Structure 1
Amino acid sequence: MAPRTRVEGRLSTWDDARGFGFISRASGRDIFVHISAFPAEEQRPAIGDALTFVVEPTPDGRSRAAFVHFAGGPRPLAAHHGVAEHTGPRERLRLGIDFAGVMAILTVVAFVVLVFVVSVVFGLPPWVPSLYLAASAGCFIIYAVDKASAVRGRWRVRESTLILLGLVGGWPGAVIAQQLFRHKTRKASFRTMFWVSVVINVVVFAILTASPLSHLLST
């Protein structure tokens, strides 16, 4: 098989939180590029970087940049306090201790314990934990699909939809998916809205289970 021709271009737009952007070429339209197209153990790109790449087709008939390299040579990622960041062939993974991620998972564990205690002490109706379980499973699947769509440059799930799914009880599954897939963990505005929705959900849960309004759950 003949080697594919490498093309030169410059990164013209880049959304670091979502991990994708577009490369401008001397001839032809701007081409989509995802963070997964960059080599492992190198720094994240920035607007203005000169790049070389191979053009490959996407399943929907469009084009994207693949096997991307910095024109000036490799840019090794320096380890920082024992935490390294790598880009594999499919997605960028962060290794080491992620304090925010650990706290997020601990929040889910604490809530599961809370639901169990409330079920024992207050006789929580079975449909309540079942609702959280079903919503969390659905949320997990939707996050997985959205992550795959982001990698392939396809249609994405609206952030408002993800927030709403978490608000109605799917947030434990969303937290697990966020940490497992490294998805929606860097965009500050989304994280703020997501955790606000979590607080609202937990407060409503507490009001309906530990107050005179608890009878509403049994009706």
Structure 2
Amino acid sequence: MTKNAVSTGVIDSWDDAKGFGFIQIPSQKQQVFLHISAFTHQGKRPQAGNRVQFCLAKDKQGKWRADKVRLLGGGATKASRKISGSPNRLSIAIALSFIAALSIGYTLQHFPLWLFLYFISASLVTFIAYGWDKRSARNNRWRVSEFKLHLLSLAGGWPGALLAQQWLRHKSAKGRFKFILWLTISANLALIYLIHRPELNTLLN
């Protein structure tokens, strides 16, 4: 990236209520922060999927942002997505219900303490990883790969992943990512079921 260079890209995500989003530049992994005040003409409200032309600039903290932005013709692309303003209550309910079930299971001595602490710790680590990745995206720094995020979910941190998606509003609009996340959740729950099947425990003992 070069300061003051004229570039074109697509608004990958946009929160119209807060007036900010991120621009995805073709062939670039990093995204550029976009604020509504950067538009030279504010007649038409931007939306996810709009093609834009802009100049690269840096703010007082030395972070990349878009400046002198103008909308290009052609409308929204098929790859557009919008930052949702309301969290998915079902995902939050599933994550919290699972943690509550583990807590109740431990209280009733159905689950050992280490299993409860393991999922709490894994969820906390995963939640922090999502938060770190979102902050890195805004600051144009090295990101946490989606593979690592899915690996954390598969390892038992998926309640933290669900909560981070909704509370931090990160990775909550990418259909492919969410599909793989639910696959990791299913695999993790299936593993727990197999480990705690009475007949399997009898064989192991």
Are 2:67 and 1:64 aligned? no
**CA 215–163 in structure 1, closer or farther in 2 if over 3 Å, else same:** farther
Partner of 1:132: 119
Aligned to 2:18: none
1:55 aligned residue: 57
Residue 104 of structure 1 corresponds to which residue in structure 2?
A: 91
How far residue 161 of structure 1 moved from its aligned partner, in angstroms, is 0.6
Q: Aligned to 2:139, which of 152, 164, 181?
A: 152
Alpha carbons 2:130, 2:161 under 8 Å: kept:
yes
From 190, 195, 198, the equivalent of 1:203 is 190
What per-residue deviation string (whole Å, max 9, x for no partner) do you get for residues 131-161 of structure 1? Answer: 0011111111111111100011111111111
- Structure 1 gap ranges (5+): 1-6, 24-29, 73-84, 86-91
Separation in 1 of the partners of 2:106 and 2:203? 15
Do the aligned partners of 1:39 and 1:68 also contact (CA within 8 Å) in 2? no
Question: Structure 1 residue 117: deviation in Å?
Answer: 4.0
Tell whether 2:157 aligns with 1:170: yes
TM-score (norm 2): 0.70
Structure 2: give runs of 5+ residues left out of the alignment: 15-20, 73-81
Aligned position for 2:8: 11
Equivalent residues of 2:123, 2:157 under 8 A apart: yes
Q: Pairwise mapping of residues 174-193 of structure 1 onto structure 2 (< 5 A)? A: 174-193=161-180
Amino acid at match of 1:194: L
Match of 1:95 in 2: 85
Distance 1:71 1:164 in 2: 38
Instruction: Give RMSD over aligned pairs.
Output: 3.8
C-alpha separation in 2, matches of 1:104 and 1:149: 24
Distance 1:196 1:68, change over 3 A: farther
Structure 1 SS opposite 2:47: coil
Asked if 1:39 corresponds to 2:48, the answer is no
- Secondary structure, in 3 states, of the residue corresponding to 2:112? coil
Structure 1 position 9, deviation (Å): 4.2
